[in-house]
Every structure is written in structure tokens, then in C-alpha cells.
Amino acid sequence: MTFKHILEMWKETNIPFDEIILTEEMVETGMDPVIIKNNMKRLVEVMITEAEKNYGKKHESLTGLTGNNASKLINHNPKILGEFNYVATITALSTAENNASMGRIVACPTAGSCGVVPAILFALKKVHNAKMEDIVSSFIISGAIGNIIAKKSTISGAAGGCQAEIGTAAAMASAALTYYFSKDAEKCGHAASLALKSLMGLVCDPVGGFVEIPCVKRNASAANVAITTAEMALAGIESVIPFDEVVDAMYRVGKMMHEDLRETGNGGIATTPTAQKLVEDIKKRWK
């Protein structure tokens, strides 16, 4: 499946984009679109239930490297963020902290980037009172974006750096948000392209190899990239480079990345003196 292909189908028909995606999935997998949609609904239900349960809750990871930042944000009167961004940022932190403390999450597309899409979906529900049906339709667009990236490129930090995980999550979230407000497939492609380009080149550099620093807070930042790029797309701002080409470019960047910058914990922020001291302290505690 390429984005160009499904976009052309959308332009040639009067069929809603989420239905085109479900039909295309049926052609590719042989699965009944009703079953595919029910599976998507189930994932959304888990994401929203966990988002609700963990919203602003105190978490602490086993390593002690991360936690309790969603609770700081919920107890802070925002000076800069609007309501939607504020709710999304708390949700992204809560979900990623929940993952770091072994809670239940939906890998979307991966565990490390699990906070971005729920942040958007939960903010739609909480701030815009979105109906489940519309959230599921929007999530189907996220699924197609993630699928295209997984097939044409990679969604693995070990293979393509954090751009492949967090970048993909932001593209998925941005497209979902754009679909919710516009039902316009072309705008969704622009939103996803803008988001992925914004995070292109992002390295995977987890401190000590734990999916915590910088992962947890990166989820929160990426949720805001998704919101900004969706707003731009809704305003009619276009990505000059089409989505499929952006995905190919991301793949080439991933291939050029040194392995130290692909989940080994041997590059980037993981090699700072503070990071190394934190890892030494954990080793001593765990002896």
C-alpha cells in the first residue's frame, strides 16, 4: 500500500478515506473489514481506558530514571499551552511513564512511542467530546500511515533511529487529528509528511538501553509536533514533498545512521557523563 494509491482511490470515489483503507486492508490481508474495524476499536478502547486511568498519575519506573512528571504537569497551571496541547502532553507523559513502570499500553507503533497517538485520541475525547465512532475512524488513518511506513521503511529504533518510532507515531497522530477535523485524505497526507519531516534524523539514544530517558519526554514533545503539523495541514499548508517520498527519505537516513545511534545506548544522550553516572548507580543498586 502506498499513500499515493489510497489517495487516488479517495479522489476517484466518494467513499470516506477510512472505508477505503479498510477495503485496501481486506485486499491485502483477506480479512473481513468488520473484523479489522473491531480490532481497531478494541485498541482505541484500551488506549483511552489506560489514558483515563493514568491521567496525571504518579508513576515510578523500576530503574528510578523516570516518573512523576505527568503528575507535575497536572498540578501546574499552564502558562503557554492551550487546553488541547495541555491534555495531550499530560496523556503522552502518563502513557509513556505507565509503559516505563510496566503498565498496560498499546504499542503504537512501538512501546517506546506508545504515548503519542493516545495523547491525541484522548485529548479529542476529553476536550472535544469526540464520539468513539469518530475516534475509531481517525485511528484507522493512523493505522494506514503506520502500515505504509512499516512496509516501505521501518518503525524500529534499532533499525532506523528514533525518527522511525517517535517520528512514525507523530505522523500517525497528526494524520488522525487532521482526519477528525477535515475528513480530507489529502490534508492527512500533508499532516503526516510535515510531522515525519519535523522529526527526521532523530537518533535512538536510550540511557542504559532503558526505554525511559529521553523516550518518555520525547513522547510529550512529539504529541505537540503532531498537533502543530495537523493544524498547519488543516489551514491548507502543504508538504512540498509527498508522503511516500518522505518515508523513503526517512529510510535512507536510518540506513546512514551509525549503529551507536540505533538503540544500542552507545550514542547521543546516553553517552553524556550524567547518563553514565546514572547507569553506574543503577548497576550498584541492582548488584
User: Which spans of this chain sit near ligand SF4 (rule: CB under 6 A)?
Assistant: 112-113, 157, 162, 165-166, 204-206, 211, 215, 218, 263
| Closer to ligand SF4 by Cβ: residue 22 or 204 | 204
Its sign, for the CA torsion 161, 166, 170, 172, is positive
**Closest separation in Å from C-beta 99 to ligand SF4:** 10
**Closest separation in Å from C-beta 252 to ligand SF4:** 18
**Closest separation in Å from C-beta 206 to ligand SF4:** 4
| Closer to ligand SF4 by Cβ: residue 7 or 169 | 169
Nearest to 145 by CA among 185, 116, 175: 175
**Closest separation in Å from C-beta 216 to ligand SF4:** 8
Residue appearing with cell numbers 523500576: 62
Phi, then psi, of 235 in degrees rounded to 5: -80, -5
| Closer to ligand SF4 by Cβ: residue 170 or 211 | 211
| The amino acid at 92 | A
**Closest separation in Å from C-beta 10 to ligand SF4:** 31
| Closer to ligand SF4 by Cβ: residue 35 or 62 | 62
| Closer to ligand SF4 by Cβ: residue 18 or 205 | 205
| Closer to ligand SF4 by Cβ: residue 94 or 137 | 94
- The answer to whether residues 113 and 222 touch, using CB atoms and an 8 Å cutoff, is yes
**Closest separation in Å from C-beta 204 to ligand SF4:** 3
| Angstrom distances, CA of residue 7 to CA of 69, 216, 232 | 40, 33, 19
